[in-house]
Amino acid sequence: MNITALEKIALSVRALSIDAIQKANSGHPGLPLGAAELGAILYGELLRHDPADPAWPDRDRFILSAGHGSMLLYALLHLAGYKDMRLEDIKTFRQVGSRAAGHPEYGMAGGIEATSGPLGQGLAMAVGLAVAETMLAARFNTAGHTIVDHYTYALAGDGCLQEGVSAEAGSFAGHQGLGKLIVFYDSNKITIDGSTDLSFTEDAAKRYEAYGWQILRGSMYDFEEIGRLTAQAKAEHKKPSLIILTSIIGKGAPNKQNTADAHGAPLGPEETAAAKQALGIPGDFYIAPEALDYFRAKRETWGKTRESWQAQFEAWSKENPEKRKDWDNFHAGKALPAALPVFAQGDKIATRSAGNKALGAIAAANANLVGGSADLKGPNAVGFPNSGVYSAKDRTGRYIHFGIREFAMAAISNGILLHGGLRAFCATFMVFADYLRPALRLSALMRQPVIYVFTHDSIFVGEDGPTHQPVEHLAALRVIPNVRFLRPADAEEAAEAWTMAMDRGEGPTVLALSRQNITVFPKEDPEWKNTIRTGAYIVKKAPGGSPGVVIIATGSELGLALEAAALAVEKKVQVVSMISRELFESQPPAIQESIIPPGVRVVCCEAGVRNGWERWAKPEDIFSIDRFGESGPAGKVAEALGFTAGALAAIVNR
């Protein structure tokens, strides 16, 4: 271990961070100054990576969970030789067009493994990365060749450990015995408001020990100790490790270090000068020559390590051609076709149940599809044949019992997708989408095709009452950019919705599925299975072909619309199923007008708030539920709320 060179790397990290943040007049200098030594040894000695191939499948992964300290990561990526992170990006830190965004943004530069910054989610995504490593290792490693064998590292701070999602994920990781997950805890006891004593006095070490983690302690500023602790963490195969490193926030800034002032604001001209003098930094955006020499030599070593793995991978491929074929399919990013279930007109089946049949068929064809629910396997109908249960004792299982941890479930699913090689779904009741929404937002922001199965999608949940009857959730989920929201109207649509979700490569899909049985209805569009991919199609044409009124409905309300159309025969009603409003609204005008003719009166029908439907209908023509529900049998609840076919027909006839 070349401690002198590591010290120069740490100095360079501090120098780049101070100047980038000061030039931007925005940023968080506390973490990169306080954790520079860890960054130096992590990227210089501990991490198995190759900047020449940032996507190398068997690289170690690192997530900066405390993403506000992004300059630590950017400085290390630049020093290590990741070509995407140029010095120019660092000099334009936090500016439009710079790869050095305010918080790490997935996809903006090689070496950024996840979008982080919402505290705690990085740690939870690291759990997902570690889960994926165990799954792929169990699937592809053989007695003769180990081609999946890497570690997942994360750096978390006091804020990360205070957020509830890290507790959920930490509990899950300990239960699952994720021994190749190593989390460094930057313990400086300072947050934005001041000392952590203001609100955070628990013994986090004992908490994580109770979760089933190995707890190790050391100093942020002792290279050899960090190396020993990391080796000790690697030697523990049955427990994830939390390495608590005592640190000084803003270390090197003589008047601001160890204070909240160092956390989230530039040091300022005077403190910048004082810090540079104290640290011995000779100029602006200084990089020590010794740091560059060290990494230049390291890149040759890293390249040889990757080439050695590649040779082993090729040997494994020759000996295991079927496994290699599976490997290529797993990593292709495309779903293989499945023999979907067939339903007959008149069948009465809940879309959650129909979705389950489709899931079984799709999972049989796509062995890389994994997932589970938040303790709702039966109610969500997301179990599938021959899946096995993923556990510390059996990594071959594809069904994951996430426990009652919705937020962590979604964040872990993000991590599984980010790892590569696997597709993931997760499930809960729609009303509990509120618990996981921040992770769904990151799915959308990172363009990860996680599939979210949300069942019990309306007041027709019935007896569980308003706490379990989503009314605002349809609108709330639709407004998240890049979320594909699919609300199928019957069993046939549910099966197609699953294929639409699997075919989507960039961004998450929400499947909104019913608890109650729904009748499979006839569809007058003979090409509806293709047309539905525009977001909508004509279910029932108006008599004579020229409609006087178009009813747009989604989900279980499509049946209600067909009943209402039968009660309003004089209006020449056309009924449209709109499985995805946002997808349809993205279509060219010609497609939209072929389904909803311009100038024709439109009535919208959905068992939720009206928000968003104003684009298609006047407020008085939106049949919606703009209040919380009631407790009782589904039909009685609908009657009590006036949500009936007769009431819809009255609007149509108006």
Cβ proximity of 397 and 387 under 8 Å? yes
Longest pairwise C-alpha distance within the chain: 87
3-state secondary structure of 135: helix
Name the pairing type of β-strands 484-486 and 509-512.
parallel
DSSP state of 44: I
Task: Give the count of beta carbons closer than 10 Å to the beta carbon of residue 506.
Answer: 12
Q: Cα-flanking dihedrals φ and ψ of residue 100, to 5°?
A: -90, 75
Which of 7, 37, 168, 406 is the catalytic position?
406
Q: Cα-flanking dihedrals φ and ψ of residue 168, to 5°?
A: -60, -50
C-alpha dihedral (362, 454, 631, 641), degrees to nearest 10: -100
CA proximity to 418, closest of 124, 621, 624, 217? 124
Task: Give the helix/strand (H/E) hosting 243.
Answer: strand 241-246
Cα distances (Å, whole numbers) of residue 616 to 133, 185, 287: 47, 51, 58
CA proximity to 119, closest of 181, 43, 44, 67? 67
Q: Cα-flanking dihedrals φ and ψ of residue 381, to 5°?
A: 55, 55
3-state secondary structure of 220: coil
Distance from C-alpha of 73 to C-alpha of 39, rounded to nearest angstrom: 8
Distance from C-alpha of 130 to C-alpha of 111, rounded to nearest angstrom: 17
Task: Give the count of beta carbons closer than 10 Å to the beta carbon of residue 529.
Answer: 16
Distance from C-alpha of 479 to C-alpha of 472, rounded to nearest angstrom: 11
Q: 190 pairs with which residues across the strands?
A: 195
Cα distances (Å, whole numbers) of residue 617 to 334, 550, 551, 579: 37, 10, 10, 17
Distance in Å from the first CA to the final CA of the chain: 82
Q: Cα-flanking dihedrals φ and ψ of residue 153, to 5°?
A: -115, 150
Tokens of 214: 């190995």
Q: 243 pairs with which residues across the strands?
A: 184, 216
Based on the residue annotation, tell me whether 406 is a catalytic residue of this protein.
yes
Cα distances (Å, whole numbers) of residue 133 to 214, 372, 424, 432: 19, 17, 14, 29
Tokens 């079984």 -> residue = 360
Amino acid at 196: T
- Secondary structure (H, E, C), 470-534: CCCHHHHHHCCCCCEEECCCCHHHHHHHHHHHHHCCCCCEEEECCCCCEECCCCCCCCHHHHHHH
Q: Cα-flanking dihedrals φ and ψ of residue 61, to 5°?
A: -110, 145
Task: Give the helix/strand (H/E) hosting 379.
Answer: helix 377-380
Q: 484 pairs with which residues across the strands?
A: 509
In 320-348, which residue ranges form alpha helices assigned H by DSSP?
321-331
Cβ proximity of 253 and 33 under 8 Å? yes
Task: Give the count of beta carbons closer than 10 Å to the beta carbon of residue 209.
Answer: 15
Q: Cα-flanking dihedrals φ and ψ of residue 564, to 5°?
A: -65, -40
Tokens of 118: 């919402």
Q: Kindly list the catalytic residues.
A: 406
